[in-house]
Each structure stands twice: as structure tokens, then as C-alpha cells.
Structure 1
Amino acid sequence: MNRFLSIVLHAHVPWVRHPESPRCLEEDWLFEAISESYLPLLDVLHRLRDEEVPYRVTMNFSPVLLEMLQDPMLRDRAQAYLERALALAQRESMRESAPETHRRLAAWYAARFSSLRDMYVDRWQRDLVRAFRELQETRHLEITATAATHAVLPLLLQVPETVRAQISVGAETYEKTFGTPARGFWLPECAYVHALSGLIRETGADWTIVEAHAFGPERSGAEPNAGCGPRGLAFFRRDLASSRQAWDADTGYPSDPRYREFYRDVGLEAPPEALSDYLEGSPVRRFTGLKMYRITGGEGDKEWYDPGAARAAALEHAKDFVDARADQLRTLAAEVEPGEPPPILVCACDVELFGRWWFEGPQFFEEMLRLLSKRDDMILTTPTEYLLRCGGSAALPSVEPMPSSWSEEGYFASWLSDENTWIYPELHRRATQLLRVVQACEEDGDTLEEPLGSHRRRCVSQMIRELQLAQSGDWPMLMRNETSRDYATRRAKEHLSHFDTLWKAYASASEDSQSTLERIEKQNPIFPDLKPSRHHPDRQPSLLD
């Protein structure tokens, strides 16, 4: 009996485009993900392809991330980030007051950042989306769709039309970017309730992934890892054992003392004079990507980082991971009755785990794919290919997934706390206002399908953008963190304020309102092909059937 393994990676960074600030600290979230995760993984995936090592991996990119990766200003700033890091590493490698081991590691980082810079600028011409799209075209990747702004969809269902808009904008952005409809749909935060099934199916997607307990509180041996749910949508159950091994910072592979320590960064520890060029006069210290110590153990003194020892650990852990999945699948295969679909494990996690949070993750990932290519006891596949082998979702056992998410609490409490619940009435009120605007336009004979230059059309389109950016699940999550609460609160309130400003500008074609519209459009130029008519309430059947 065939046994299947599917690796699913989710890539997302919040919308952190700040044209008003040349060195916005939060934009570094994007640049760190590019330098530590996306570029190293692209290097791995293209190298394996060129060496004809067979693999099939599933990925998705949030539409806001796709927009940022293609934004000219952010591309300029990403290149500048890599070049600043390279220059800092070169200076640190020659700083006489630094220990010899520090200088040696700085030289190692200089070589690394030089390679990353060449990869980004010369090899990929700063177009990482194209680099990933090429891997889909050669059938090494299956890239899937997800919601527009990483919204936690179950929490927006008080105004169902806004959930449909999140899903449809996500699907349309995917098709525009990759040239074909997506077969799968990633639920942000794996947040699911029954009402979402039909909306996902409307996009043409065949499957999605839910957290393990959506199929039941504990695995008894009888629950499937894939099933056919409402509207014929296939559901894949995220495997917890593989997640804990690869993701858990306390007990999983990333906790190994040989790996790089995340928090000990040159930008937080070097003498101020050594950082003056890098910080460009700013008194605010920041991560630089130059981290000289290994985890070591506990919170005490740290020992120097050893790249060779860390690589050896990554190779060991890759073998352990592959062997553990083979054991799991062997056990599952023994439970399969004649005529039932073959066993599958779906290992799903954030792309940023590999590199940004676990520096050696890309080395682990490469070795894992190499080892899997040599196994004959399991087949690396994608959910779409698994369904094709099974004969479609109808061949799977029936399931009724329960409300769930992959957050720490397992449901929606992470986005419903004292720090963040204020946002939902504000979001619902503006979503309702938007429906009224769209309906009023059409009652006036304005279908909102006229040329993009129309003032009213532009106002409504930008209102949708601002509402969807305010709906991002990142803001309520970050509001729970003391260090990021102020930024997240400010961002959410800013998008809500923009919506209100545009609401007023919509009714006026004055010079001031035109100027206001242009300013907000330039600040958040996301989703240029929005279709406002999708928000018309008369076109939305009940989503709660």
C-alpha cells in the first residue's frame, strides 16, 4: 500500500509598507524573512531541481506578502537592507576590539550576506515571486491561495459579505499572480467554522487544511487524516507530531543547544560607535542578522556559534524527522481497511520557521527532501495529487470539522482578549457601511464597473483596501504582546481612520477630497484590480446555512 507525506508551508508577513519612514523598524520583519527564509529556501529548492532531486512541496503566500515582494519601493529597501548587513559584517570582521572568534564569525556572515545579495539582485533581479512561480511551472511546487490580508475569517462572519470579499480577493490575487486558479485554499491561522466551506468552494478550490482537533479532541486510531466535508470540500488534518518536532522552541529540534541563538544580536550588543553607520544616526538599536552565539542551554552565558556543528545537528534532525514520519505512516497503514484511501500525513507550518526563527531550518529542509527522495516506503506529494490518486474528495470518509484554529489555545481566544476585542465592533460597523455604499451606487445606476479613473470608484476601492488591511489577524494578535501593542493598535486605527476619511471624500469631488484620496492610495497601493461590486448585499446568499 502506498503511503503519502505532504509538506505544506505558509508564508506571510503583515503589511508593513511605510513610505513616510526610510528606516521603519517593522519593515525589517519583511527583510528578515527575505534574507533568512525566502532566499535560502529558494536556493535549496532550485539547487535540488537543478540536481534532478525529485520533490513536491506545497506553499502559499498571503496576498499582502505577494504585493510587498513585488513593490518597487520595498524591493529597493530590501536590497539596501542586505547591503547594509554586508557592510556591517565586513566592518565587524576587522574591528580590533572584538574577540578573534567574533571577527571570524563576522567574516562568515559577510560571505553569507554577499551571497544573499547576489542571489536577490543578480540571480532573481529582486523578483522572488517569479522565482517561486518557476518552481510551480516545473511541478516542484504547488502554490495555493489564501485570504486577502490574513484575516481570522470566523471572527468577521457578522457581516458575511466581508468574508466572501476576503476569500475572493485572495483567490483573484493568486490567479493574477500565478496565471491559474488555485486548487487549494489555506485558511489563515487554520481558523475554521462550517460557514466557510461554501465560500472556499466558490473559488474553485478543492481542499483546505484544519488543525488536528477539528477532526476530534484526541486521535483514537479511527479518525482519518483526510475527509470530505460540507459542499464536497476536502479537509486535511494537520499532523501534530511533526509540528511539535519541527516547530516547538522548547522541546523540538530548534531547541538544540548547537543551533544559533535568536536573541543575541550584534545590533543589540556592539558598541554604539561600531553601529553608527548601520543605524544611520538612529539611537534605536535593532536586529542586524549578525548573531554570534549558540543556544547553549538555559538563560545563562552563551557559547560561540559554530556553523559546522549546527549543520551537523540539522542533518541529524532531518534523518530523525524522516524516520519518524515513516514510523507514523507504517502505523497508519496497519489501520487502513480494504477499500479505504491510503494513509497520508500533512506537515504544515510557517515558512518563516525555516531560517528566520530556526536559522538552520533551510539546511534541515534540504536534507529532509534529499532523504525523502531516496525512500521507497512513502511518497512525497501534495494534497491535490493525493486527491487525484484517490479519485476526488468523494472517495474520502465524511467529516464535519469542528470550529478550530492552530493558535495556542486551539480556537479563537488569541484574537479575543481584553487588549483587542475593541476592534471587532469597529470592523463590523464599517463593513456594514461599505455594503450600503455599494448598494446605493447601484441603485443610482452606478455599477462600480466604470473606468478606474472614476472618483467614486476609486474611493470605494480604497475603502475596501483599508477595511481589509484593518481586518488583518496580525493586529489583534500583536496587541497581546506588550512590545508590539502600540504599533499594532496604531496600524489598526490608522486603517479605520482612512476608511472614515474616504467615506467623507466619496461624497465630494472637491480638490481637497481628490488630494486626500491620492495620498491614501499612495500609502497603501494594494490590490489594484479590486472589484467593489463583489460587496453588493443582494448578491450574497446566506453563508450560514
Structure 2
Amino acid sequence: MSAPQPEPVPGQLTLVLHTHLPWLAHHGRWPVGEEWLFQSWSAAYLPLMRVLRTLAAENRRGLLTLGVTPVVTAQLDDPYCLDGMHQWLANWQLRAWEAANLHTPTGAAEGTATTPEALRQFGIREYEEAAQALEDFTTLWRHGASPLLRELIDAGTVELLGGPLAHPFQPLLNPRLREFALHEGLADARQRFAHTPSGIWAPECAYAPGMEHDYAGAGVSHFMVDGPSLHGDTALGRPVGQTDVVAFGRDLQVSYRVWSPKSGYPGHAAYRDFHTFDHLTGLKPARVTGRNVASDDKAPYDPQRAERAIDAHVADFVTLVRQRMISESERIGRPAHVVAAFDTELFGHWWYEGPMWLERLLRALPAAGVHVGTLGDALAGGFVGTPVDLPPSSWGSGKDWTVWSGEKVADLVALNAEVVDTALSTVDKALAQTDTAPTRDFVADQILRETLLTVSSDWPFMVSKDSAADYARYRARLHAHAMREIADALASGRREVAQRLADGWNRADGLFGALDARRLPR
């Protein structure tokens, strides 16, 4: 006799994943640079794609809303990055083979993760995982991510969220460049996926009053904000101001159950420890063990122990979601919408077990009577309340703009303003020969490309958080230098020099090949 089915709960749950890294190709390898891309690709993007393809093959639809920024798809489609990724995966397999065949004493204390026997057992499992990743990559990924994502979009498995080129912090950006970046970002998605996103993940969930009109003008119907932007009332999407553009807010009570520094699932003792490396092979063979346990004393990773924790955390999250949907529906007197939103890189890169948790969760939720759908499904289903005026906000510390505009990054704020002003005036003059330049101006294109890389929101974030701050400042200043160098040559009438400089910088920063300066708003 089959077990009784749980009562369906009112409303809808939407899982939203935000996939973003800065442009890392050709700009250093380790400790910050291309290694960051390859680690995220192997640990998060490959297994997430495997999960989604598996569920799509079961005809499961509307599983989640997947934001992928143009700068990420540019790297996942780039031939240089694809070749580098293939080499990285092969090197991972070699490092695992080295661990699996280790015979040299390591000096590690008995019972810890880096004894020879513990490393051998870990290396055997890691070798098999690397072999699976290589098989996936060589058979599915060698033409980039776009064909794979397009299959999932076409099948209705995921809803794609787009965004502006190079992930700028939009509230602080010159309105002309802000409009250009957004329109070009949506066009970039259309070119890669034959699909123009109707929704976006605004970089850093950042909002300034009036931006809803920019979105309406670009054909955007909905976007994400953090829960406090809606004063914590995220049970329905809300049209913003006098527009039909709907803001969906992240439910912090549900989202923080997974990703909280103090009590989130990834910190459980059974899960693989992100921070503990074996320095011989570069692998991560330990489990968290305990919050106050030193790296050298951490216990070996135990897959069976982790499996039990995954199942417990799936059950816990399902229970939380059911309770939240019921209580929110009762509070507002109609079926409620609950949005749980996370960085994609959490699932696999920061939390090794994350993709396994996600796959089991996406099976368990419908079985528990929870309706799962995308943000687009929520719009179509009428999960929309009354209009709202949003405050200036973001999902950063303090939920305001301080991370990107505070004293710690005052130099970058000033740099961005100067670079953007110079770039816009230079491009305007370069394209002023006629009302519409008859042919593309690749020098002007490269000026805007380097400008957008300069104003990436990643650099002030990394400085404010003291996370590779020197690298972040170096990158912002490097792209500013590139823009100035090209613009100075152009402004002084040295067109051939400007062309040569633009070509040289394009070899490192050749992303967004369709970017066309002629489309910059006048």
C-alpha cells in the first residue's frame, strides 16, 4: 500500500540562481584569476548542468529561474577558456591519480584527512569524479555553454534571467551607459540563446528610483530585489511605481536557512570542507568536522556521512518551505509566492554537496505538495500584489549602496566617473562624422568594452569585503588605463595608433564581440 500523499500547500515556490563571475580570462591565473573560473566551472556549472539535464529528461518543467550574466556566458563560450578548462580538468584527474597512488608518509596525525591511506581513498573517488567531468565536458561542452542552456530554455526546464554587460552597479552609472549596457546585455542573450530574457537579475540586486522606466523601455517585465527592499513583505511580486515592471523579493527567512554564515547547511560537520587543502595535490580531502577544529586536525571526508546530511537537509528545507507558504498565504489572505535565491556558485564550488541537495530537493518538493515554478510562472499565475515605490537598495551589507559607494572605495567611485565621462565624450566625437556612422568603429567599441570592464561591480565589492582587494584595484585601473590609452591616441588624431592599441587590448578583452558603439544612446 502506497504512502498517503501530503496535502498540497497554497502558492508557489521559486528557486532563483544567480550565476556570475567577473571577466577573468587573460588576467592572471592564481590565487585570483582564471583558476577561479575553472574551479567554479568544474565544481558548480558542470554538475548543475548534469542535474538539470537529468531532470529535463524526466519531463520536469519550470524547475528554477536561472540568471546567467553576459560576462559568464562570454567566458563559458570562449575558445581560449574552453581550451583552458579542458587542460584544468585533465590536471585535476592527474592530481587525483597522484593522491590515489600515494605511498610517501605525509606526517599527518592518525585519523586526519591527510594520512596516506585517507588520501588514497579520497584520490580514488576524486579520480572517478574527474573522469566523469572530462567525459561530460568533451561530449557536451566543447562548443560552449550556450547550446546546452538553449536546450533547457527551449524545453521550459528553466527560465533565463539576463542582465547588463559586464555587471555594472547600475545606480551609480551614467544613464547613457546604463541604458547601453542593459540593451546590449539582452541582445547578447538573444544572440547566444535565440531567446531574449524578459526578466533580469539586476547586478547586486541594486535599484535606484526610476530604473523601472529603463527596464520597461528595454522590454524587461520583472527583476529581482532583496527582501528588505520590499520591507520584508516578499509574498507577492509588486509592480514598481507607475509601470507594469514587477519586482520580486528574496525571502530571507527561507534563503538564509541554506546560506547563513552562522547556521547554513554548508557548515555541517559531515560536508566537505572548502578551506582545507592537501598541499601536495591541491585536493580538498577533509570534512568540516567542527567549526573550531584546525585544518590539520580535520577528519577524512566520508561520502556516506554526507549523504545522510543531504537527506536531512532536504527534508528540513521542504518542511520550512511548506510552513512558510502556509503562513504567508494565511497572512495575506491569498496563495503566496516564496522566492529562495542564491549565487549559483554556492552549489558545488562553496558547498560541494550543493548540486546533490538541489537535485533531491527538486524531486522532494512536488512529492511534498509544493508547487515549484519560475518567476515567469508566478507572473502568469497572478502572484502579483499592489504597486510599490522601492527605496534605493541592494543585497549588499546594510542593504544599501555602501559596499559600492562607501569610503573604502572612494577612489574607485572617482575612477569610474572619470573613465565614463572620458569614454562617452571620446566615442561621441569619434562617431560624430555623420548622424549614423556608416560602418562599425572597432576603436570606439573597444573604448566602451574597457569602460564597462572598469565599472564592473566586482571590483568595489572585493575591495569593500577585503577579498583580493589588490587584484580588484589592479583590474579596475588596468581597464581604465586601456581606455585612456586608446582614447588619448584617438583624441590627438593618431587614428592608426589608436587602432593598434585597440587591437592589442582586444586580444585580452575581446568579450562581447557584437558590442557596437553606434548603439550608444545619443
TM-score when normalising by structure 1: 0.87
Residue 175 of structure 1 is aligned with which of 162, 180, 190? 190
Which residue number corresponds to residue 471 of structure 1? 455
| Residues 1:298 and 2:291 aligned together | yes
Instruction: Deviation per CA, 1:306-337: give whole Å up to 9, x if none.
Output: 11211221121012111110111111121233
| Residues 1:113 and 2:130 aligned together | yes
Cα deviation, residue 482, structure 1: 4.4
CA distance in structure 2 between the aligned counterparts of 1:511 and 1:438, rounded to whole angstroms: 16
Q: Quickly say closer, same or farther: Cα 1:23–1:74, change in 2 above 3 A.
A: farther
Which residue number corresponds to residue 514 of structure 2? 529
* Larger mean Cα displacement after TM superposition, 118-127 or 36-45: 118-127
Residue 359 of structure 1 aligns to a residue whose secondary structure is coil
Q: Quickly say closer, same or farther: Cα 1:22–1:484, change in 2 above 3 A.
A: closer
Cα deviation, residue 498, structure 1: 0.6
Q: Give the partner amino acid of 1:309.
A: R
| Residues 1:501 and 2:482 aligned together | no
Residue 404 of structure 1 is aligned with which of 381, 386, 393? 393
Residue 238 of structure 2 aligns to a residue whose secondary structure is strand
> What does 1:62-101 correspond to in 2, within 5 Å?
62-97=69-104, 98-101=115-118
CA distance in structure 2 between the aligned counterparts of 1:306 and 1:255, rounded to whole angstroms: 15
Residue 388 of structure 1 is aligned with which of 380, 384, 387? 380
CA distance in structure 1 between the aligned counterparts of 2:61 and 2:519, rounded to whole angstroms: 41
Which residue number corresponds to residue 241 of structure 1? 253
User: Could you say what the CA RMSD is over the residues aligned between the two structures, in angstroms?
Assistant: 2.0
Cα deviation, residue 515, structure 1: 2.2
| Residues 1:331 and 2:338 aligned together | no
Residue 142 of structure 1 aligns to a residue whose secondary structure is strand
Which residue number corresponds to residue 368 of structure 1? 361
Cα deviation, residue 303, structure 1: 0.9
Residue 506 of structure 1 aligns to a residue whose secondary structure is helix
Residue 317 of structure 2 aligns to a residue whose secondary structure is helix
Structure 2 residue runs without a partner (length 5+)? 1-8, 105-114
Residue 420 of structure 1 aligns to a residue whose secondary structure is helix
CA distance in structure 2 between the aligned counterparts of 1:474 and 1:326, rounded to whole angstroms: 35
**Equivalent pair of 1:260/1:295 in contact (CA under 8 Å):** yes
Cα deviation, residue 22, structure 1: 7.3
CA distance in structure 1 between the aligned counterparts of 2:147 and 2:222, rounded to whole angstroms: 25
Which residue number corresponds to residue 142 of structure 1? 159
CA distance in structure 2 between the aligned counterparts of 1:362 and 1:492, rounded to whole angstroms: 33
CA distance in structure 1 between the aligned counterparts of 2:264 and 2:186, rounded to whole angstroms: 34
CA distance in structure 2 between the aligned counterparts of 1:427 and 1:124, rounded to whole angstroms: 36
Residue 409 of structure 1 aligns to a residue whose secondary structure is helix
Which residue number corresponds to residue 21 of structure 2? 13
Instruction: Deviation per CA, 1:246-273: give whole Å up to 9, x if none.
Output: 111321111111011111112xx22xxx
Cα deviation, residue 442, structure 1: 4.9
Q: Quickly say closer, same or farther: Cα 1:440–1:52, change in 2 above 3 A.
A: closer
Instruction: Deviation per CA, 1:45-67: give whole Å up to 9, x if none.
Output: 11122234455211011111111
**Equivalent pair of 1:59/1:143 in contact (CA under 8 Å):** yes
CA distance in structure 2 between the aligned counterparts of 1:139 and 1:486, rounded to whole angstroms: 42
**Equivalent pair of 2:165/2:182 in contact (CA under 8 Å):** yes
Q: Give the partner amino acid of 2:508.
A: Q
CA distance in structure 1 between the aligned counterparts of 2:16 and 2:260, rounded to whole angstroms: 17
Which residue number corresponds to residue 472 of structure 2? 488
CA distance in structure 2 between the aligned counterparts of 1:512 and 1:209, rounded to whole angstroms: 43
CA distance in structure 1 between the aligned counterparts of 2:460 and 2:180, rounded to whole angstroms: 20
Cα deviation, residue 123, structure 1: 3.2
Q: Give the partner amino acid of 1:33.
A: S
> What does 1:189-204 correspond to in 2, within 5 Å?
189-204=204-219
Instruction: Deviation per CA, 1:492-542: give whole Å up to 9, x if none.
Output: 0010001111102324455543322210111100111123133344xxxxx
How many equivalent pairs are there? 499
**Equivalent pair of 2:268/2:288 in contact (CA under 8 Å):** yes
Residue 419 of structure 1 aligns to a residue whose secondary structure is helix
TM-score when normalising by structure 2: 0.91
CA distance in structure 2 between the aligned counterparts of 1:10 and 1:177, rounded to whole angstroms: 18
Cα deviation, residue 379, structure 1: 1.2
Q: Give the partner amino acid of 2:298.
A: K
Residue 46 of structure 1 is aligned with which of 50, 53, 70? 53
Which residue number corresponds to residue 161 of structure 1? 176
Q: Give the partner amino acid of 2:331.
A: E
**Equivalent pair of 1:441/1:447 in contact (CA under 8 Å):** no
Q: Give the partner amino acid of 1:416.
A: S
| Residues 1:206 and 2:221 aligned together | yes
**Equivalent pair of 2:102/2:119 in contact (CA under 8 Å):** no
| Residues 1:359 and 2:374 aligned together | no
Instruction: Deviation per CA, 1:205-252: give whole Å up to 9, x if none.
Output: 111111111112x55xxx743211122111111100121111113211
Q: Quickly say closer, same or farther: Cα 1:27–1:443, change in 2 above 3 A.
A: closer
Residue 147 of structure 1 aligns to a residue whose secondary structure is coil
**Equivalent pair of 2:236/2:248 in contact (CA under 8 Å):** yes
CA distance in structure 2 between the aligned counterparts of 1:43 and 1:180, rounded to whole angstroms: 22
Which residue number corresponds to residue 306 of structure 2? 310
Q: Quickly say closer, same or farther: Cα 1:481–1:407, change in 2 above 3 A.
A: closer
Residue 165 of structure 1 aligns to a residue whose secondary structure is helix
Instruction: Deviation per CA, 1:437-466: give whole Å up to 9, x if none.
Output: 343345432623x333xxxx1111101000
Which residue number corresponds to residue 257 of structure 1? 269
Which residue number corresponds to residue 446 of structure 2? 462
| Residues 1:103 and 2:123 aligned together | no
CA distance in structure 2 between the aligned counterparts of 1:517 and 1:24, rounded to whole angstroms: 28
**Equivalent pair of 1:355/1:362 in contact (CA under 8 Å):** yes
Q: Quickly say closer, same or farther: Cα 1:4–1:37, change in 2 above 3 A.
A: same
Q: Give the partner amino acid of 1:500.
A: R
